[in-house]
């Protein structure tokens, strides 16, 4: 049985692969920088999702492919260096065609991340929860991207997740299944089936027909009440809570600043926010000061 995630870079992807083999559910927290990644680790999550939505929002931008490979790579690298658990990088559509997907794999793998995820929408992609304008790339062309990324790997343990947005784009479960079978054939180690339905029924139907051909990843943002144990029993191998840290931060910061302005000082919020000493601890101040001696 798998134990805790390893600290050695080369073993982090292998640890996730072993979890898949052992049928142990991998719980992943979305993050957008080193601080939120470290808080996820301290909270007990198995891995970190370097969220393109979160990274974009942290830059004050919408999740519309406005940032490029360099920005996402820098953010993912910072997260990887901040934690000892695996980091999975959300690489949107792979930043271009097949040759770009191959380059994406080489650059993120060199940074130390445990794996990357690429989705099958047209560039520039729109966040999955944008109401209109969602467009899929042809399944065959996307499979070519995955094959190029897979063949570009320097280490066989590095994970490649093929994400289908078929359900997001209004296609049915049958099309999602067709695509995911192609993606596994092309070299994907796992598939991410995304849905914005209010319940898990679409995902459950997918899982029933998928029959555990390869590990399945879900992002239950809109069907948040689906218990993770129930999901695992249905055939889910990884659950990503992709944007909750970002949303929690927005609410907490907004309420804090509103209270400060309302009361004319920060005295009323001090009991409800982290102390400076806590920030020192999370950022490992003492360890860094020790290096200067």
Domain of 117: which CATH number? Answer: 3.20.20.60
- Tell me the average pLDDT of the chain: 95
Residue 3 lies in a domain: no
- What pLDDT does 132 receive? 83
Confidence tier at 2 by pLDDT (50, 70, 90): low
CB 118 within 8 A of CB 154: no
Do 118 and 197 fall within a single domain? yes
H helical segments located in the chain: 9-22, 34-43, 52-58, 69-82, 98-111, 139-151, 173-186, 201-210, 228-234, 244-263, 276-282, 285-291
Burial of 66 (0-12, 13-18, 19+ CB in 10 A): exposed
Each residue's pLDDT tens digit, 48-94:
999 999 999 999 999 999 999 999 999 999 999 999 999 999 999 99
* Cα atoms found within 13 Å of the Cα of residue 286, Cβ hemisphere only: 4
Reported pTM:
0.94
Regarding whether 186 and 41 lie in a shared domain, the answer is yes
Q: Residue 291 has what pLDDT?
A: 86
Residues 222, 285 share a domain: no
Residues 227 and 271 in one domain: no
Start-to-end CA span in the chain (Å): 41
- The verdict on 65 and 179 lying in the same domain is yes
Q: Is the pLDDT of residue 30 over 50?
A: yes
Clarify whether residues 225 and 149 are in a common domain. Answer: yes
- Identify whether residues 107 and 208 lie together within a single domain: yes
Which residues span the domain enclosing 55? 9-242
Residues 34-51: pLDDT tens digits?
A: 999 999 999 999 999 999
**pLDDT tens across 94-127, in order?**
999 999 999 999 999 999 999 999 999 999 898 9
Whether residues 22 and 69 fall in one domain: yes
* Catalytic positions, written as ranges: 63
Question: Stretch 240-254: mean pLDDT, rounded?
Answer: 97
Sorted by sequence, the CB contacts under 8 Å of residue 105 that are 6+ apart come out as 116, 149, 150, 152, 153, 158, 160
Q: Concatenate the DSSP letters of all residues of 125-160 into one string.
A: P--TTSSS---BPPHHHHHHHHHHHHHT-SSTTSEE
């Amino acid at each position: 049985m798998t134990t805790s995630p390893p600290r050695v870079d080369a073993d982090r992807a292998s640890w996730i692969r072993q979890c898949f083999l052992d049928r142990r559910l991998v719980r992943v927290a979305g993050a957008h920088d080193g601080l939120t990644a470290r808080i996820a680790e301290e909270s007990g999550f198995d891995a970190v999702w370097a969220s393109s939505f979160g990274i974009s929002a942290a830059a004050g931008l919408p999740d519309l492919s406005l940032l490029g490979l360099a920005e996402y790579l820098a953010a993912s690298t910072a997260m990887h260096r901040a934690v000892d658990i695996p980091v999975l990088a959300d690489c949107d559509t792979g930043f271009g065609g097949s040759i770009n997907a191959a380059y994406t794999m080489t650059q993120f793998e060199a940074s130390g991340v445990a794996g990357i995820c690429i989705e099958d929408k047209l560039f520039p992609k729109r966040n999955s929860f944008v109401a209109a304008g969602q467009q899929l790339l042809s399944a065959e062309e996307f499979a070519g991207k995955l094959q190029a990324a897979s063949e570009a790997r320097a280490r066989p343990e590095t994970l490649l997740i093929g994400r289908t947005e078929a359900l997001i784009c209004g296609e049915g479960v049958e099309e999602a299944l067709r695509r995911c079978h192609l993606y596994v054939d092309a070299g994907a180690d796992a598939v991410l089936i995304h849905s914005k339905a209010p319940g898990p029924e679409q995902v459950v139907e997918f899982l029933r027909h998928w029959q555990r051909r390869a590990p399945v990843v879900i992002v239950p943002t809109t069907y948040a009440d689906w218990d993770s144990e129930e999901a695992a029993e249905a055939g889910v191998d990884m659950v990503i809570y992709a944007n909750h840290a970002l949303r929690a931060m927005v609410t907490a910061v907004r309420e804090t600043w509103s209270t400060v302005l309302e009361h004319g000082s920060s005295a009323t919020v001090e009991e409800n926010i982290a102390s400076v000493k806590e920030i020192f601890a999370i950022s490992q101040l003492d360890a860094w000061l020790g290096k200067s001696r």
